[in-house]
Chain A
Amino acid sequence: MDRSSELDRMKHVAFLEMMMEWIPSPYESQEINRLTLAYFTISGLAILDALDPVYKDRIINWVLSLQAHPRDRAELENGQLYGFHGSRSSQFHRHDAKQQDSVPNGSHLASTYCALAILRIIDYDLSSIDSESILISMRHLQQPDGSFTPIHLGAEMDLRFVYCAAAICYMLNDWTGMDKEKAKDYILSCQSYDGGFGLVPGLESHGGGTFCAVAALRLMGFIEADALSKSTVATTINVPLLLEWCMQRQGVDGGFQGRANKASDTCYAFWVGGVLKILGAYHFLDKDALCRFLLSQYSGFKKFPEDVMPDLYHSYYGLAALSLLEEPGLIPLCVELGIPTKDAI
């Protein structure tokens, strides 16, 4: 292990431990998704094998306190998701309400995924949470075409939330939360003419969308592990075309682009690299070139080197990408779930 990687590791740990205790005010604009910031911080530290056990109880208590609980079973059929709030900002206590019996429920599918991912990272026993409320209520968020909206209040519907739904069901080990066949059909309709996946049918192939599609199919059991080495022809997606699209995303600078003819960005080393990993094709990419690209970004990974503050999103996905590269000192990932683990899926 060379000195530069080692130095980076300490800087990343220091950065993430700081974020654990204090997120700077520019992140106010992401406050509704504070659980996602927590996921980046906690998962990042776990990948660095530096998540101090002293945080465990604090994390558990805080995450669990964000869960939305129905008053009774009947409420589970009111069309709302009873999952996890993204932050305290959208969460209200019943004792705050005056005349009304109910309080606004701001729980969100993506926050629910982040909450469960965090609990899983710290080895919290998920069978002790109220998973029934999550599974019953999330069905209401699935649309007739198989896609998911993340919240009953109304929001965009795209592949990101199909992925969240699949990951939630997988982690809770219960598929009653969604209609898998319909979700699969929706995913298939997102495969573009060039083999990648757009976030919505008809949209341009995109690294993030492609990850959500392939990871969700894998979690739902519609793609086998190492699909490439199996002789069975994929009846779901066009694998050769997808593979070709993914391979073409690595640029001369060694990094990965999210779409054809765009600049490389750290995060796509995870999104697109992750797809290759799921397909059993990770060894096709040029690992040395990618590693050099990732490490060339300085302290914390930034979208472009001229940014001053390390940005949590890119810092995290840079670490995740380095983990896929088996960088020494980093914990391996369960790519499909987007969390570090020592168990194979």
Chain B
Amino acid sequence: MSSDDGEERVPLSRRPEWADVRPLPQDDGPNPVVPIAYREDFREAMDYFRAVYLADERSLRSLNLTSEVIAMNPGNYTVWHFRRLVLETLNVGLLEERDYVDHVAEHNSKNYQIWHHRRWLAEKLGPKAANKELEFTKKILTIDAKNYHAWSHRQWVLQALGGWDDELDYCQKLIEDDVFNNSAWNQRYFVITRSPFLGGLQASRESEVSYAIEAIMANPENESPWRYLRGLYKNDIDQFLSDNHVSEACLKVLKSGHNFLFALSLFLDLLCFGFQPSDEFKRVVEGLRNSVASSSDANLATSVCNILETVDPLRANYWAWRRSTLPSIVC
């Protein structure tokens, strides 16, 4: 009877199975503000919903009514809550409900209430639901590989129900599909730091550094692998300074003379932490400074800030501030 079918919707007031129910209209008071111009169908469905909700009628017709309301508006948390109560009382099969949610979620993949309902269902189904949930989020992510709700659900599933085995491979595939997909890079970080099977950040660091640098070399203008690389040294500045791979990657990009913004900014961070640059670094920076005609300075970090101010004018004020707040230890 929902308008989904393409059939003419029969108002609830004309359906014999609802004849005994008195719909409960909203009482908005005498002079409300921001009144919504409800369509008649919507208003009527909600008035009948309010009646069964208040009466706490946990019947099949109530369940069907919640489906009808959800089809018009999946965003009402009271409706979903009542649906859960009815499902539990009627002891409806959870797998049947999951099919229903699959269908609704596909067309409303950015709705908080639907994802919450999915989580409720998955919790009840337990670890055996993990695969199906991962499959479902994967489906949503093929439509939009950055859907925040899908990623949130996926991370919850992994932590609550398991299924870590293929996750790193999945991240790799997504990064191959689109190396600029920051969500995929974030998920990779999530896996290497939180997977119970991988030994933590330090254990994975070396291989992940290579992975990030490879991505950087292919697209030095891509912010994601730069942030990821820096993130691999979270809370470990000493390693960050002493690992040659990091400084060498910076140097290589700087030498290329293009797409060097992130390389230069990472180099600035290294200097601020006390990095002692080689003469080659100094020469390359001097070369860049000449090519963009920014002002020279005896202090290397100052020169770097000058270059950044020139080539990244959108953030000129920020680079000027960085220059004015350089630590005294810096070269």
- Residue pair A261, B224 in contact (C-beta under 8 Å): yes
List B contacts of A221 (CB < 8 A): none
- Residue pair A93, B27 in contact (C-beta under 8 Å): yes
Closest 5 CB pairs of A and B: A193-B231, A194-B227, A204-B186, A284-B318, A88-B26
Please report the C-alpha to C-alpha distance between residue A104 and residue B73 in the assembled complex, in whole angstroms: 20
List B contacts of A31 (CB < 8 A): 36, 38, 46, 73, 76
Apart from A25-B42, A154-B116, A286-B315, what 4 extra A-B contacts exist at CB < 8 Å?
A: A25-B36, A65-B29, A154-B120, A203-B148
Chain B CB within 8 A of A144 CB: no
Chain A CB within 8 A of B67 CB: no
- Residue pair B26, A89 in contact (C-beta under 8 Å): yes
Please report the C-alpha to C-alpha distance between residue A77 and residue B26 in the assembled complex, in whole angstroms: 28
- Residue pair A247, B318 in contact (C-beta under 8 Å): yes
Please report the C-alpha to C-alpha distance between residue A193 and residue B208 in the assembled complex, in whole angstroms: 14
Instruction: Please list 18 pairs of residues, one from A and one from B, whose beta carbons are closer than 8 Å in the complex, sorted by A's number.
Output: A22-B37, A25-B36, A28-B36, A31-B36, A38-B33, A58-B31, A62-B32, A62-B33, A87-B26, A88-B28, A154-B120, A155-B77, A156-B116, A245-B227, A254-B314, A260-B223, A261-B180, A286-B315
- Residue pair B76, A32 in contact (C-beta under 8 Å): yes
Chain A CB within 8 A of B13 CB: no
Please report the C-alpha to C-alpha distance between residue A20 and residue B35 in the assembled complex, in whole angstroms: 8
Chain A CB within 8 A of B189 CB: yes
List B contacts of A62 (CB < 8 A): 29, 31-33
Chain B CB within 8 A of A305 CB: no
Q: How far is the CB of A173 from chain B (nearest CB, A)?
A: 26
Task: Please pick, from B32, B84, B189, the residue contacting A193 in the complex, using a CB distance under 8 A.
Answer: B189
- Residue pair A206, B148 in contact (C-beta under 8 Å): yes
Task: Please pick, from B39, B78, B155, B316, the residue contacting A203 in the complex, using a CB distance under 8 A.
Answer: B155
Please report the C-alpha to C-alpha distance between residue A25 and residue B39 in the assembled complex, in whole angstroms: 6
- Residue pair B54, A32 in contact (C-beta under 8 Å): no
- Residue pair B182, A261 in contact (C-beta under 8 Å): yes
Which residues from chain B sit less than 8 Å from chain A, CB to CB?
24, 26-39, 42, 46, 50, 53-56, 72-78, 81, 84, 112-113, 115-116, 120, 146, 148, 151-152, 155, 180-183, 186, 189-190, 194, 222-224, 227-228, 230-232, 234, 265, 313-318, 321
- Residue pair A203, B186 in contact (C-beta under 8 Å): yes
- Residue pair B54, A28 in contact (C-beta under 8 Å): no
Residue of A nearest to B182 (CB): A260
Chain B CB within 8 A of A302 CB: no
Chain B CB within 8 A of A97 CB: yes
- Residue pair A104, B54 in contact (C-beta under 8 Å): yes
Task: Please pick, from A59, A155, A289, the residue contacting B116 in the complex, using a CB distance under 8 A.
Answer: A155
List A contacts of B36 (CB < 8 A): 23, 25, 27-28, 31, 34, 37
Residue of B nearest to A36 (CB): B34
- Residue pair A100, B56 in contact (C-beta under 8 Å): yes
Which residues from chain A sit less than 8 Å from chain B, CB to CB?
19-25, 27-34, 37-38, 41-42, 55, 58-59, 61-62, 65, 87-93, 96-98, 100, 103-104, 106, 108, 151, 153-156, 192-194, 198-200, 202-206, 243-245, 247-248, 250, 252, 254, 259-262, 281, 283-286, 289
Residue of A nearest to B313 (CB): A286
- Residue pair A153, B78 in contact (C-beta under 8 Å): yes
Task: Please pick, from A55, A93, A204, the residue contacting B183 in the complex, using a CB distance under 8 A.
Answer: A204
- Residue pair A55, B33 in contact (C-beta under 8 Å): yes
Task: Please pick, from B46, B81, B120, B315, the residue contacting A250 in the complex, using a CB distance under 8 A.
Answer: B315
In the complex, the number of residue pairs spanning A and B with C-beta atoms less than 8 Å apart equals 181
List B contacts of A97 (CB < 8 A): 54
- Residue pair B318, A58 in contact (C-beta under 8 Å): no
Residue of B nearest to A192 (CB): B186
Residue of B nearest to A35 (CB): B34
Please report the C-alpha to C-alpha distance between residue A142 and residue B65 in the assembled complex, in whole angstroms: 32
- Residue pair A261, B75 in contact (C-beta under 8 Å): no
Please report the C-alpha to C-alpha distance between residue A203 and residue B186 in the assembled complex, in whole angstroms: 7
- Residue pair B34, A204 in contact (C-beta under 8 Å): no
Q: How far is the CB of B30 from chain A (nearest CB, A)?
A: 8
Residue of B nearest to A57 (CB): B31
Task: Please pick, from B151, B313, B315, the residue contacting A247 in the complex, using a CB distance under 8 A.
Answer: B315
- Residue pair A283, B317 in contact (C-beta under 8 Å): yes
Known: A28-B73, A92-B50, A203-B148. A193 touches B183 (CB 8 A): no
- Residue pair A28, B227 in contact (C-beta under 8 Å): no
Please report the C-alpha to C-alpha distance between residue A29 and residue B77 in the assembled complex, in whole angstroms: 11
Please report the C-alpha to C-alpha distance between residue A192 and residue B223 in the assembled complex, in whole angstroms: 15
List B contacts of A154 (CB < 8 A): 81, 84, 116, 120
Q: How far is the CB of B302 from chain A (nearest CB, A)?
A: 18
List B contacts of A27 (CB < 8 A): 36
- Residue pair B31, A28 in contact (C-beta under 8 Å): no
List A contacts of B50 (CB < 8 A): 89, 92
Residue of B nearest to A246 (CB): B318
Q: How far is the CB of A12 from chain B (nearest CB, A)?
A: 16
Please report the C-alpha to C-alpha distance between residue A324 and residue B313 in the assembled complex, in whole angstroms: 21
